[in-house]
Structure 1
Amino acid sequence: MLRVELRDGLAVLTLDRPGQLNAIGSGMVERLTRALDDVRDDEDVRAVVLTGAGRAFSAGADLGEIESFVSPGQFRAFVGRLTDAYALLEDFPKPSVAAVHGFAFGGGLELALACDLRVVERGARLGLPEMKLGVLPGAGGTQRLPRLVPPAIAKQMILTGEPIDAERAWQLGLVNELAEPGAVLAAAEKLAGGLTAGAPLALAAGKHLIDHGLGMDLRTAIAYERETVSVLFTTGDRKEGLKAFRERRPGEFRGR
């Protein structure tokens, strides 16, 4: 249901329900949460890549499971588990890259939105079709999407339920890189591999500053940045970075 592979400083997490187009149910959410907890404590892992098995990244939330709910409370609890898992990914101290092929719809796109970066195969489609089911995205889609693309575009996608293709998503800045068909995972691993060369403490701090600074006024955010950078100055990684620069070699960062 969720495969975890560790290689070259990366944790590659693969949604593995190809017969159900990697629909995301409670079991998948539980395994994703557990995998992220394990990866967080693994010092050999510097970045995370998320992808899907088969012909798509993910068709979204498991509608079969949702249809089995007999009360609004069950649905609320399911959405709570989903949003908690995606928040864990968004706040994760190690950078994450989504490798999207085929399509990412509904909760599948919301999972990709929770990642730091997105690499998408040319021709893939991205959408939030919940409006066509009489509901709305419930795992962060109405909030994360308009923070990544112009609000008018987010409204169009959410209120019509119509998807956009990878090329349009790239033009809008939703996608960091386009990959040729069949090469999206390799492209995502290459991008993530470049991140693993960074100092872990600085990577985590950079993620935090960008994500949380956007909710602050500019002066407060800059003051927060100043304090964070001052703390990083005291780290062993900062000393190693300067030494490596002087010696004209890559830094060997330890996250300390």
Structure 2
Amino acid sequence: MSTVLFDVIDQHIGLITLNRPYAANAFSSKLLQDFNTVLDQVEANKKLRVLVVKGSGEKAFCAGADLKEREGMSDAEVIQAVRSIKQTLTRVEQLSIPSIAAMKGAAFGGGLELALACDIRIASTEAKMGLTETSLGIIPGAGGTQRLPRLIGPGKANYLILTANRLSSTEAYEYGIVEQLVERGRLVEEVLSVARAIASNGPIGVQQAKKAIRLGLDTDLSSGLKIEEKCYKETIPTEDRMEGIKAFKEKRKPNYMGK
């Protein structure tokens, strides 16, 4: 049985489900292999406009590394295992389409790092999360020390990483780690509502906006504005832009084709 499931909803929404509920959806080597196979499918499906990532079961979004599997590893094997997680999460971050983490239950260590690699994080009210690696004598190694400061600022990131604090979903929302809180029973419904809102917009515009934001964060404002201009120009010659203008004039919902 695959440890990562993939479904397509409404033609344009990809849904990835981490499928190890008995192990809190932790990153085993098999799960990482299956995850990358699914990402191949996501990248190959040109109809997709947004991706949702969630965990199966009620207890965890993703508990991070599979520590039981790691017990028998050599130092070199541990380093390679962490590198594999980081490479997989970087693939999620660099997808051309936006991604949403639907966070229910626990999201610690690599689990939160997976959510940080997504563009939007929506959590259920009972979720708990944190980068807790320093309490285990290590550090976040799959992007946490880099993505968290970029999201909430270095001071708050230092505090959370160095104390290894575990946060409630409300605290995570107040820190700016998650963008929206939802009652547990409505999480998937609300995430899919957000995904449908994104999917209804011009897909080329959405992808270029994501690209401009992501690349601009790694540079100064002047360079970022040039990146924005370049991405804006990509939308000008498209059929979607003309459809958007026509639909606005005709006071109807646009029918974007991604062309």
Q: Above 0.5 in TM-score?
A: yes
Q: Which one of 50, 66, 80 corresponds to residue 62 of structure 1?
A: 66
Amino acid at match of 2:55: G
Q: Cα distance, 1:25 vs. partner?
A: 1.4
Alignment length (residue pairs): 255
Question: Match of 2:210?
Answer: 207
Cα displacement (A) at 1:150: 2.8
Deviations 1:113-172 (A, max 9, x none): 100001101121111111111101110011111111132221122111121111111112
Residue in structure 2 matched with residue 142 of structure 1 by the alignment: 145
**CA positional deviation for 1:44:** 2.9
Alpha-carbon distance between aligned partners in 1 of 2:190 and 2:149, rounded to the nearest angstrom: 26
1:33-69 deviation digits (Å, cap 9, x = unpaired): 1212211221332111111111211111111221121
- After the TM superposition, which segments of 4 or more aligned residues of structure 1 sit over 4 Å from their partners? none
1:14 maps to 17
Q: Provide the residue aligned with 1:52 in structure 2.
A: 55
Whole-angstrom CA distance in 2 between matches of 1:187 and 1:34: 27
Please name the residue that 2:194 is paired with.
Answer: 191
Contact 2:211/2:231 (<8 A) preserved? no
SS at match of 2:184: coil
TM alignment of 1:214-229, pairs within 5 A: 214-229=217-232
Q: Partners in 2 of 1:110 and 1:219 — Cα distance?
A: 29
Q: Secondary structure at the match of 1:178?
A: strand
What TM-score results when the alignment is normalised by the length of structure 1? 0.96
Could you tell me how far apart the structure 1 residues matched to 2:172 and 2:197 are?
23
Q: How does 1:1-256 map to 2 (within 5 A)?
A: 1-8=3-10, 9-54=12-57, 55-70=59-74, 72-256=75-259
CA distance in 2, matches of 1:151, 1:78: 27
Q: Is the 8 A contact 2:208 2:234 kept in 1?
A: no
- Are residues 167 and 34 of structure 1, via their aligned partners in 2, closer, same or farther at CA, if it must alter by over 3 Å? same
Q: Distance in 2 between matches of 1:153 and 1:227?
A: 33
Take 2:219 and 2:134, find their aligned partners in 1: how far apart are those partners? 32
Deviation, structure 1 residue 181: 1.9
- What runs of 5+ residues in structure 2 fail to find an aligned partner? none
2-structure distance, mates of 1:40, 1:247:
34
In structure 1, the gaps of 5 or more residues are none
Q: Secondary structure at the match of 1:69?
A: coil
CA distance in 1, matches of 2:234, 2:112: 35
Question: What amino acid is the match of 1:132?
Answer: S
| Offset at residue 73 of structure 1 (A) | 2.0
CA distance in 2, matches of 1:133, 1:222: 41
| C-alpha separation in 2, matches of 1:7 and 1:163 | 33
